Structure 1
Amino acid sequence: MDAQLELIREQQKEVWNKFSPGWKKWDDFTMDFLQPMGDEIIRALNLEATDHVLDIAGGTGEPGLSIATIVKKGKVVITDLAEGMLAVARDKALKRGLNNVETRVCDVSELPFDDNSFDAISCRMGFMFFPDMQLAAKEMTRVLKPGGRLSAAVWGTPEKNFWVAAIMGTIQKQLSIPAPPPGSPGMFRCGQPGLLAGIFREAGLKNVTEKESDGKMHCGNAENYWTFMNEVAAPVVSALSKADDTMKEKIRREVFALVEKHCPDKKANLDYGALIVSGTK
């Protein structure tokens, strides 16, 4: 990995560790929101009770912990760049009495595992942030056993994800934030249909499939949405740190108006759209 990609990785590690307390606070809400994508990954992996599974970018533990309840005679290794996130995962595993779970701080581009080590690999909402997605896919393929399955979820295009667009679109409009360079890590980097599937095929995977997963983030009201995004979404916090109090309040009011226009019942059920991409070694 070149120096620029290593810098991105270290910056990401710092950010995820910094925001791990917010993710712990909102864990029940976030895991409920993301569960449908985890369920789709699990279905695609077609797991056996004895499987050894690698969950990459597992954060606070899902879908790895759910997988651990299926592979009762096997094992799940949950990896992430951020030790703070994995500490939450370990605590949850302990509370659930799961003794077939291990956590490991590591970089997806340099996985510390032997070739052909795992029966299946899951990765929920990680690929779009990897500095080098092709290298990540090749590393996953390397540690996957022949015949093993890899399944990953990524966010779709911005127009299918109002839960992000409502706040980030408003911030970008009001603060005139320049767009990131094309292809740089970000929420919607893998949103174009076929992009991640192509990366999987180039890494040597076969029988690659792509499936859409759409639903709602159930926030309850605009205030909860605003608070959540300001406590777990690093791009939101970073952008708003550049605004003074008057501008922050202007942005907040505009976001509330957008959410309430989109959801007249004022319950802030906000659209999301994801892609589930799977393949076999």
Structure 2
Amino acid sequence: MTELEDAKAKAAATYNAAADHFDHPVSSFWHRFGRQTIERLALREGETVLDVCCGSGGSALPAAEAVGPNGKIVAVDLAERLVQLGEAKARAKGLSNIEFKAADMLSLGYPDASFDIVVCVFGIFFVPDMVAAAKELWRMLRPGGRLAITTWGPDLSQ
């Protein structure tokens, strides 16, 4: 197993193990910051959004609501159990414009310029080569599109 494969396997195992508690109120920052990131992007009706490291939908679900039925969200995470939680939440909200996938953001296979918006909320730092990951996300973004990557800072409340 390569270093990259090992890192991906460890990340997936960690988040699969935490899936039952991922949406607990103590962990609500995932959803708070996901929603805030989507609000700051000011998504428009009909846009296409790729949300990588989507977890259980903290940013993907508000994005699906924001782009409306003519928009499309592709939500990707290595942790299959979190993807399943996100799918269940989307069904419960009646959102049909969102597709959850258990996949690696570095090998999605989308052509260049496939998305209007690319989002990665608190996930980029789990990738061993963050520069390569950012380049791959940028590649899938259409010209004039918007890329949002969040990470930890000195003040976790901002």
Same fold flag (TM > 0.5) = yes
Task: Please point out which of 64, 71, 75 is paired with 1:74.
Answer: 71
- Work out the CA distance in 2 between the residues paired with 1:100 and 1:66: 12
For 1:116, the aligned partner's letter is A
Structure 2 residue aligned with 1:232: none
Q: Which runs of 5+ in 2 are unaligned?
A: none
For 1:11, the aligned partner's letter is K
Structure 2 residue aligned with 1:219: none
Give percent identity, aligned residues only.
34
Confirm or deny: 8 A CA contact 2:35 2:58 kept in the other structure. no
SS of the residue aligned with 1:61?
Answer: coil
How many residues align? The count is 157
SS of the residue aligned with 1:155?
Answer: coil
Is 1:37 the counterpart of 2:36? The answer is no
For residues 61-140 of structure 1, the aligned pairs below 5 Å read 61-72=57-68, 73-140=70-137
Q: Measure how far apart 1:153 and its partner are.
A: 1.5
- Work out the CA distance in 2 between the residues paired with 1:6 and 1:34: 25
Q: Measure how far apart 1:111 and its partner are.
A: 2.3
SS of the residue aligned with 1:84?
Answer: helix
Structure 2 residue aligned with 1:246: none
Structure 2 residue aligned with 1:23: 22
- Work out the CA distance in 2 between the residues paired with 1:70 and 1:104: 20
Q: Measure how far apart 1:22 and its partner are.
A: 2.1
- Work out the CA distance in 2 between the residues paired with 1:59 and 1:39: 13
- Work out the CA distance in 1 between the residues paired with 2:44 and 2:132: 28
Confirm or deny: 8 A CA contact 1:156 1:273 kept in the other structure. no
Q: Which runs of 5+ in 1 are unaligned?
A: 161-271, 275-281
RMSD of Structure 2 on Structure 1 (CA): 1.8
Provide closer, same or farther for how the CA distance between residues 100 and 139 of structure 1 changes in structure 2, counting only shifts above 3 A: same
Give the greater-gyration-radius structure (CA). Answer: 1
After superposition, the C-alpha distances for 1:73-105 in whole angstroms (9 at most, x for unaligned) are 111111000111000000000110101010111
Structure 1 residue aligned with 2:55: 59
Confirm or deny: 8 A CA contact 1:111 1:139 kept in the other structure. no
Provide closer, same or farther for how the CA distance between residues 11 and 35 of structure 1 changes in structure 2, counting only shifts above 3 A: closer
For residues 1-281 of structure 1, the aligned pairs below 5 Å read 3-24=2-23, 26=24, 28-31=25-28, 33-72=29-68, 73-157=70-154, 160=155, 272-274=156-158
Query: After TM superposition, where is structure 1 displaced by more than 3 Å over at least 4 residues in a row?
Result: none
TM-score by length of 2: 0.90
TM-score by length of 1: 0.52
